[in-house]
Every structure is written in C-alpha cells, then in structure tokens.
Amino acid sequence: MASDSNQVELEGLPRTIAPGVTILQLLRAENPALLEGDDPVVIASVNGRRVSLHEPLAPGDRVRLIRMADPFAQTTIQRTVLFLLAVAAQDLFPDHQLNVHFSYSGGMYCELQRPDPLNAREISALEKRMWELVAEDRALTPQTFGLRALLKIYRRQGDERSYRAAKYLRREALTFYRMADSAKLYYGRQLPSTGYVRTFRLEPEHPGFVLLANLKGRITEFPAYVPQPRYLDTLRAYARWTEKVGLQDTGSLNEYIVQGRTAELVQISEARHAQFFVDAARHVAALPEEGRLVLLAGPSSSGKTSSAKRIMVHLRVLGFKPFALSLDNYFVDRDLTPRGADGDFDFEALEALKIEEFNRDLQALMAGEPVHLPRFDFVAGKGILDETPTRLERGQPLIVEGIHALNPSLTPSIPRRDKLHIYVSALCHLNIDSYSYIKTTHSRLFRRLVRDAQFRGYPAAETLARWPKVRRGEEKHIFPFQNNADLFFNSGLTYELAVLKLWAEPRLAAVESDDPNYGLARTLIDLLALLLPIDAGQVPPTSLLREFIGGSGFRY
C-alpha cells in the first residue's frame, strides 16, 4: 500500500507519486488528453505559485491545473511567443541583436539593432519563421545553471546585457529554458512546447515592429492594435535617454550602485523630471491670458499629485499664482453615487461627479467671478459649500488633477484653446536583458504597495487583491483618453525600484502561501531580487518618489 508521504493533491484529489516526478510526466501517465485539444493544460499552480509543467513534485504539494484560456496563463504564453521571436530573429539575422523594449498598444515594441530598420518584407519573413517553429513543435525544457557557468556562457556569446543582469544576482543557480535545436536560453516559465502557441502577429511600427500575442483569456483573438504616436515617442525618448546615460537595464543600474555613483544616479534622474516641469510651466504660460486651465490625468500611483505641485512651483518662478482645484470635492452625495456590476459604489465613474456644477464653477473662476467652492465631507458623504468665496485674478493658472481630466466630457464648457492636457504615468520600463523587462504596471504596483502600507495601513495582500479592479478602472476611464494629451510626462524614476524594494520586499514576503495572490507576491519579490538597494536618504524631499515613501517637502 502506498505511503501517504508520497501523495500530492491534484485538483483536490489525492495522487500517489514517485519521488521527483514532474507534473507533465504525471499528466502524460494518467490523462494525456488534458494536454491536447483547443484548451489544453499548459501550466500549473503548486502551493499557490504558478509553475511550468516541468516542475518536479514533492509529497504534500497542492496542484491546480491551468488551461491555456485561463487568464493566469497569459504571461507564460507571451513569454513563449517572445522566445519564438528571439530564436526566429537569430535564425534569420544572426549578426544583429533583437531588442524587446517595452509594452505598447496591447503588444511589445521591438527593434533589430542594425543601421537599416527591418522592412515589411523582412518582418513578414520573421513572422513566417516563427510559425515554422510552431509547426515543428519544438520542446521547451528547463535547464539549471550555476551562476559562474552562466556568466561564462554569456561572456562567450558576447551577450553583455544578460551578463550584467546575472552578475549581481544573489543566487548560485538559475533555471533557464532551452528550445530544442537552438542554443538560445530564455529565463522564465514556458509552455511545454512551441506547438501550443495559437496566435500572434507582427505589426510594423517604424523603425521596429510590435509583437501582438493573444488577448488575455481568449487564445485565438488579437487585441485591437491602435497606434499612439505621441505615446510611443515618449517611450522611445526614454529608451534613447537611458542608452545615452548608461542606464538601459538592471545590470547598468546595479553598476552605478556598486561603483558608488548612487548620488549621481539620483541627481540625473531627478533632473530629467525637473526638465519636464520647467517645460510644462512654459506651456501653461503660453496659454491665452483669459483662460489658463491645466487638466492633469494619469493611472493609479503615477504621481499625479506631486506632478501638479511641481508644476505649480515652476509657475511661481515665472511670476504666476496657480490655484489647484480638486475633483474629489465634486462628488455627488453618497446616496446618488452610481454602483458598479459588483454592487459597490463606483467612485471612478464620470457620473460620480457633479459635472454641471464643476463646469459652472470653472467658467466663473476663469472669468474672475467669486465662487463658493464645494468641499466633500467623506465621513458624511455630502458636499458642503465654503463660506468664503474664491476669486481668481485674470490669467491666474487653474490646475485640475484627476482620473477624468483628459475626458472631453469633463470640461465641455471650456474652449479647447484655453486648456492644456497633461498625461502622467510611470513609463520607465526597465530592461533586464535584450528580451525581458520590468513592466511599467509593476512599477506603479510597487509604488502603491509602499504607499498603502506607509499611509493607509493596508497589508500587501489587500493591495494586491484590489489591483485588478484598479486596472479595470484605468482601462475604462483613463487609457482611452491619453491621446488627448498635449504633453506626456514619464513620471518614472530610473532608480526608484532600488529604493522601493526596502519597503516592498518585507511586506510582500508577509503574503501567506494560501492567499490567492501569493504567486504574484513571489513574482514581485523575484523582480526586486534583480536590483541592489539604494538608501532612501539619498532621495531629495522634492522628489515625486516621496509621495510614496514619505518625507516629502510638499503637503498632501
């Protein structure tokens, strides 16, 4: 009779296993049909953490199978599609390095490092080669390397970015995936083989292209590709800037730190921010004197409030007296607040604001008339009018910050010529190597984790649980209007994750293994492990980062 010590729990049912058997081996032996069909099992969750099917099982493990159409499989699918792209690019263009730069318009923006960009025919050939690799159904198998051996491999291949990324890791062994018949290594969980890939395409975007994988949870559908030229220019400009100052990846960042150049790193990053605020203030000054309305929007934890305060400082330098108007004070009374599909109050809906009252006050303020402005009592859930009226001088800038600020429906009464729209987001994508990067959404999540813990008393588990709802709100209320912006501000700081890790790591480590977001917490810890820490004492009090870690020279 089998011993209980050799048992695992597979989909809630006990299974007896041989020591070291992988999930893939177990499924092939017991129910190979699960690995076939239109929606096969492609990864698994073991004790709350997502793993590849090559994961060896230990007695007592709790295993949940994840099919391809499960949204939790999306990052693994994208990673495998990127692996296909990397191998195809090496096959067709062996003398030129492929660089996957950042997320863009539902996909990933890529360039081939050579004097002449890829033309449409070459991009088509690259996509064709990727489909050939899918048809060959090449196995994707893990291989563990000692750190010293891995560094030698990277040096021998001339892969400096991967060498720098691995050089400062505090681990003696790393697992990489190898595609059959290819020498290329890829870090991170993969599908069992290339034949599992169902959907992708390459969209030309001079001088590179965008790799589109499937929509999350819909394995045969593409996201709608909508070019956003000004947004893309902002992302490219940042990529060029990091190349010029030598901060293009995690390894370069770590080198600044180990060389004792942290102060320099902080100074040049903060100076990039200051340059924008000076420019933004000049744009405000150029608005017609009869109407200087600044509308500033951005997703969660992008630093909208600090950005508004910094712009106001630079407007004062130019001799202006800017006035800030908070959209939060225009909430409808609590009993009139719309509710979402979940039955909870939807404070992010445009209908949660008194739009007509807001526009009347805007017009009056910009005309120099006295206005009794509202103040929302969040405890009572009602608005109260100030007893003392507010009157603005002619040409006095009016700053409005909020998630709907770029939505034309917010300010229909104000002529377009009198408005300056600013979009703020932490767009500092940080590359790990030529094919991997830390997503900007993760950067904002790190900020929110730290701010929630510092100022709101929320544990990391609660912040992680709320994050999907926050992201849905951004997709609905913010991102569709970002192209209305006159100015794009990349509020990310190149060094910030090295500071945030000191707060974020211990809080993420406190997420229990039975928490639904345990796997995400461990993924975030793994990302922070790529970076050496920076003492927060080096962050100036005027830094936007102080909005999240505390110690700011501004009042919030």
- State residue 452's pLDDT score: 93
Nearest to 213, CA basis, from 363, 62, 100, 347: 100
Residue 249 buriedness (CB in 10 A; 0-12 / 13-18 / 19+): buried
How does pLDDT run across 250-287, given as a tens digit for each residue?
999 999 999 999 999 999 999 999 999 999 999 999 99
Kindly tell me if the per-residue pLDDT of 109 is higher than 80. yes
Nearest to 321, CA basis, from 259, 270, 392: 392
Q: Are 390 and 361 in contact (CB under 8 A)?
A: no
**How many CA atoms lie within 13 Å of 242's alpha carbon, on the beta-carbon side?**
23
Strand, coil or helix: what is 432? Answer: coil
Residue bearing the bigger pLDDT, 280 or 343: 280
CATH numeric code, 74-226: 3.30.980.10
Eight-class DSSP state of 203:
E
Amino acid sitting at position 400? V
Domain boundaries, the chain: 4-67, 74-226, 231-322+397-549, 324-396
Q: Are 371 and 361 in contact (CB under 8 A)?
A: yes
Q: How many CB atoms lie within 10 A of CB 100?
A: 21
How does pLDDT run across 137-176, given as a tens digit for each residue?
999 999 999 999 999 998 988 888 889 988 888 888 888 9
- State residue 4's pLDDT score: 53
Q: Are 442 and 524 in contact (CB under 8 A)?
A: yes
- Where residue 341 falls among pLDDT bands split at 50, 70, 90? confident
Query: What CATH architecture does domain 4-67 belong to?
Result: Roll (3.10)
- What Å distances lie between residue 547 and 143, 316, 447, 543, CA to CA? 42, 21, 9, 8
Kindly tell me if the per-residue pLDDT of 398 is higher than 90. yes
- State residue 378's pLDDT score: 81
> Alpha-carbon distance 240 to 246, whole Å?
10
Lowest-confidence region among 105-109, 182-186, 239-243: 182-186
The strand ranges marked E within 402-525 are 419-425, 430-431, 437-438, 487-490
- State residue 48's pLDDT score: 87
- Where residue 68 falls among pLDDT bands split at 50, 70, 90? very high
- State residue 456's pLDDT score: 86
> Alpha-carbon distance 129 to 85, whole Å?
9
Kindly tell me if the per-residue pLDDT of 215 is higher than 80. yes
- State residue 1's pLDDT score: 41
How does pLDDT run across 492-533, given as a tens digit for each residue?
999 999 999 999 999 999 999 889 999 899 999 999 999 999
**Angle subtended at Cα 552 by Cα 378 and Cα 526, rounded to the nearest 5 degrees:** 90
- Where residue 490 falls among pLDDT bands split at 50, 70, 90? very high
Nearest to 165, CA basis, from 533, 495, 527: 527
- State residue 5's pLDDT score: 64
